[in-house]
Amino acid sequence: MTELKRIIKAGFINFTRGGLVSFAAVLVVTITLSVIAFIILLQAVLYFSLNVIKDKVDVTIYFNVGVSENKILVLKESLLKLPEVKDVFYTDAPLALKLFRDRHKNDYSTIAALDEIKENPLGATLSVKTKEIHQYESIANFLKSDSALALGSDNIVDHLSYNKLIIDRLNNIISGAQKLGFLITLLLIIISIIVTFNTIRLTIFITKEEIGVMRLVGASKMRVRGPFMVEGVIYGVIAAFATLIIFWPATAWFGRNMTDFLGLNIYDYYISNFFQIFAIILLSGIILGVISSFWAVRKYLNK
């Protein structure tokens, strides 16, 4: 414990004695953590946009006019038991007619034709949503099978609405966006780590003569390396708090001015996930500072 206290004390002394060099190291780590925080928010916007698109895709089952509601609900229950199905929404015939009228309220000829018929020409519908975008094809194939659609002797389904081409393209876009996002994230983090490592190595280079003296008098490698690792922790902690403070007004501005464009209120997301983001940024800062210090001082310990 005495040795540990000495190492921690020496780390704080190194940090305060570093002056502008320590400030520069904190600044670089702050930039690195800002990149990580930006990536977190960017991924949130990306996944929100993809989920909005995915929610607009479904397989719609149009039933014949006059089909018993009990038969439709039986089919709904069988669909809900499928592992691929996320949810099934039932729209009865009167509601289907109301929605149709709302969509075509400016099409006077269509509305006039409906008024002329006087009866509801539309049947009920089921809208099926799957857990993953690539699962729609299997659901459509299930619905086209006799076991799913031929309940008893009556054919209760008029037709299915399922655009395979659009769903396949959307699936490719989502897959490509996720891969591209991962590669960009990995590249930016690697660049940030290299810059941080070189900055911390510069701070250690200034004290290389002191390291040499400590080695000559018999100091252990941990006794030499420990204060620099503590200094790296200090860099990470200060940079983490600085990053969170910077992103507070930044996300507030984006929340006020960019919500309509992005579709997601960045500020609300930042506040609701603050503790998760704080944990990620703080741990990233500490790990980055410790590992960079550990490897930077290794060169002088091996001489």
Which residue segments constitute the domains of the chain, with CATH numbers given?
2-53+170-301 (no CATH), 65-155 (3.30.70)
Banded model confidence at residue 151, pLDDT cuts 50, 70, 90: very low
Lowest mean pLDDT among 17-21, 267-271, 274-278: 17-21
Express each pLDDT in 10-52 by its tens digit.
777 777 776 777 788 888 888 888 888 888 888 888 778 777 7
Q: Which residues contact 291 (CB under 8 A, 6 or more apart)?
A: 232
Query: pTM, whole model, 2 decimals?
Result: 0.67
Percent of all residues in the chain with a pLDDT value above 70, rounded to a whole number: 85
For range 214-235, the mean pLDDT? 76
Q: Which residues on neighbouring strands pair with residue 34, listed in sequence order?
A: none
Residue 148 · residue 142 · CB < 8 Å: yes
157-161 sheet: strands from edge to edge: 85-91, 125-130, 59-63, 157-161
For range 201-212, the mean pLDDT? 71
The residue ranking higher by pLDDT, 264 or 185, is: 264
Distance separating alpha carbons of residues 35 and 55, to the nearest angstrom: 30
pLDDT at 122: 83
Express each pLDDT in 282-300 by its tens digit.
998 888 888 877 777 776 6
